[in-house]
Chain A
Amino acid sequence: MSLFDEQRNDSQTHSASMVSEQSNPNDALSTKQKNETDLSVPNHPIPSAMTTTEVPVMKGVSYLTVFRHYRQAQLCQKYIREKRMALMYHESFDFPEHIWNKAQENMAPNPDGSIDPMPEPLLQVATSHAKKCEKLLTVWREVFAKERGWSSVEGDFKQVLMSKKASSAKEKKLKELIEYDQRMADLFRTIFSTIEGTDTWTPSQIQSFHAKIKQLNGLRTPNPDADPMIQTRNDEIQAEVNRLYQQYSEQKQSNKPLAKQLVAELSALLMKTRGDLKTVDPEVFLLAKAITEVIPSDRPFAVFGLSNHESLSQTPGLENLVERDYVPTSKAFINTIAPHQGNQFLFFSTLKMAESLYYCSIGGDCSANGDLMTDWCLGLSYSKMNFEACGQDLLESELYAQLTTGQLHDINWMLTTLEAFYGQ
């Protein structure tokens, strides 16, 4: 699911809407930054999907430490989800075994139906990851006093990050980007709801509308078979349902000018964040990269390779609202190096490796036990597991060894070009 889809559907996952001083996006951009980034459109105070009620302060713990808990929680999402599922069904949970069983789904079945033994490097990486996640869950339970809940662990830490004071320059930059990330999500949600419009009907009229729809749906014959009479009747009911939905849609009052202003703010925010890619801090880089790719930042290493999004102006619903278009960084980079390419998929794996190596070059941990290789091995950011990444440094890994001569050639010059592109 794309971020845009998530923005449209996220009302279920975010339970509360509350504006706080900390989460107010107006505060996220200082006056100086506004001037620097041509934020000519004033920010509109929109309700954030984040809540800041009852957020533990986590005294005595630095902002950076909380940020790292937050990152670890993102990497542990798969572990936590699967463990919770196992607990719900009263099943025993062995993460390495669980992940190996999942891996079978992407492996062609052996002709005799047998299952190959788990590769030793995968076992080691999965075991180590499980320990880190358990350690994190212990911290989470202590801080948030939660046990076996379904609440989002990374969401809980994010709330602390939104409210906690940042001290060092790095912490301040991280906090700023966390707020931008939240602001981006809030803007998307608000833009789409503004386009969709607000109800002019009274609550009782809306209630009546839903009741009528329910009543009509109840009149349908479930299996009309080949009886043309029943089919005709069902078609009539469907036509009536459609007519009511049309009425419902028409009663909504959308605010296109406001939507346009919000899109302009979003575009400016994305452009401004692109300036942060010149950082030589790998943690800041990952966060800024996620925002500039217009992807959810909850999968730290999904930022390498090509974004799913073409541009703001090509986003369904926003076509006529974009004055200053924004193209995700990876797409913009490809457009720079190969302006007439007709097949962007061809660039994905080479760019993914080049960007990953760039991340290593600015100090990102690309060692065998580092987060990047763990992520690739266990399929934490992407669902696909890469056993070739398990227990190996990036440069010594089979993934790197499998690159073609041409890809190595391209990566070599892409790395230099990326540095210039990010503004270093």
Chain B
Amino acid sequence: MGNKAPVLIIAIIGLMLWWVFSESQHHPEVKFGELILTEAENKNVKTAPVKKPLKNTPLIEPEASAHEPKVKDQLLADIQDWIDRYQVENRLEYHNEGLAMFEAAHQKGNLEAMTTLLGQLHSWEYNLTRPDQHVIGGDKVYIRFLSRYALRLLSCQTQPDQCDANKPYMDSYCQQDSALCNLTFQQYLDVALTPGMKMDVEALMVFYSQNMD
């Protein structure tokens, strides 16, 4: 047993070296001894221990991804702050600030933020245009309703249960017209919208989802 121990240790080290070498061949872009870091962190690191990326995982380290929810929360917090600051007197300024935040949310592909902002950027009393009107045209009443449909459809892509037939918002349609009972949201739109409206919903979905993953 005692004579076999060095042989075993050498064999294990050999296997490990072979495995590490073979992995580096599968990921030629990842050099041996390289550390995956953000650009900022990389500037401060001269030498570092070996870090092996796992198969099928994004090449983003937990340290980096930890910032993402914080940024997202900050945007939503800014939007909430903006909503709380609503004043009729400063309506134009307020609206322009909202448009800028929508631009930021759109660039980030943040559906939740876009949905919240579009609900607020609609003005019944003033002749102010919505950001999506600049893209596909239309009057604000028409776009407001189609926008809601488009945003819900997008949300249903990640949360399909949101468009289920048993959702409470479908009840009102069912009460109006029994032909609309037990339909999923997508089925409802298929029945309720004209061909042109469907075209516009699709155009809005394309616009909203431009920067989404």
Residues of A within 8 A of B (CB): 106-111, 337-343, 345-350, 401-411, 413
In the assembled complex, B180 has its CB within 8 A of some CB on chain A? yes
Report 15 cross-chain contacts, Cβ distance below 8 Å, ordered by A residue: A106-B125, A108-B91, A108-B127, A339-B179, A340-B191, A342-B188, A345-B145, A401-B137, A404-B137, A404-B143, A404-B196, A406-B201, A407-B138, A409-B195, A410-B197
| B180–A111 CB distance below 8 A | no
| B145–A340 CB distance below 8 A | no
In the assembled complex, B177 has its CB within 8 A of some CB on chain A? yes
User: Chain B at the A interface: mostly helix, strand, loop or mixed?
Assistant: helix
In the assembled complex, B93 has its CB within 8 A of some CB on chain A? yes
Question: Given contacts A402-B137, A402-B139, is CB(A108)–CB(B123) below 8 Å?
Answer: yes
In the bound assembly, the distance between CA atoms of A401 and B176 in angstroms comes to 34
In the bound assembly, the distance between CA atoms of A16 and B199 in angstroms comes to 55
The contact of B199 among A347, A348, A350, A405, by CB within 8 Å, is: A405
Interface string of B177-204 (1 = CB under 8 A from A): 1011000000010011111111111010
Within 8 A of A (CB), among B137-169: 137-139, 141-143, 145-146
A410 cross-chain contacts in B, Cβ below 8 A: 194-197
Interface size on B, as a range, is 35 or more
A348 cross-chain contacts in B, Cβ below 8 A: 141-142
| B180–A108 CB distance below 8 A | no
Which chain A residue has the least Cβ–Cβ distance from B145?
A346
| A407–B200 CB distance below 8 A | yes
In the bound assembly, the distance between CA atoms of A106 and B176 in angstroms comes to 34
Within 8 A of A (CB), among B113-139: 123, 125-128, 133, 136-139
A340 cross-chain contacts in B, Cβ below 8 A: 177, 179-180, 191-192
A405 cross-chain contacts in B, Cβ below 8 A: 136-137, 196, 199-200, 203
In the bound assembly, the distance between CA atoms of A342 and B174 in angstroms comes to 9
Residues of B within 8 A of A (CB): 89-93, 95, 123, 125-128, 133, 136-139, 141-143, 145-146, 172-173, 176-177, 179-180, 188, 191-201, 203
In the bound assembly, the distance between CA atoms of A374 and B196 in angstroms comes to 29
Which chain B residue has the least Cβ–Cβ distance from A409?
B196
| B89–A109 CB distance below 8 A | yes
| A345–B141 CB distance below 8 A | yes
| B92–A109 CB distance below 8 A | yes
A347 cross-chain contacts in B, Cβ below 8 A: 194
In the bound assembly, the distance between CA atoms of A108 and B94 in angstroms comes to 10
Which chain A residue has the least Cβ–Cβ distance from B197?
A406
Which chain B residue has the least Cβ–Cβ distance from A403?
B137
Question: Given contacts A409-B195, A409-B196, is CB(A404)–CB(B142) below 8 Å?
Answer: yes
Instruction: Give the Cβ gap from B2 to chain A, nearest Cβ, in Å.
Output: 83
| A349–B142 CB distance below 8 A | yes
List the 5 closest A-B pairs by CB distance, nearest first: A410-B196, A406-B196, A406-B200, A108-B92, A406-B199
The contact of A406 among B93, B188, B203, by CB within 8 Å, is: B203
The interface centre, meaning the residue of B127, B143, B177, B198 with most chain A CB atoms within 10 A of its CB, is B127
In the bound assembly, the distance between CA atoms of A347 and B180 in angstroms comes to 18
In the bound assembly, the distance between CA atoms of A406 and B196 in angstroms comes to 4
The contact of B200 among A106, A343, A404, by CB within 8 Å, is: A404
Instruction: Give the Cβ gap from B114 to chain A, nearest Cβ, in Å.
Output: 19
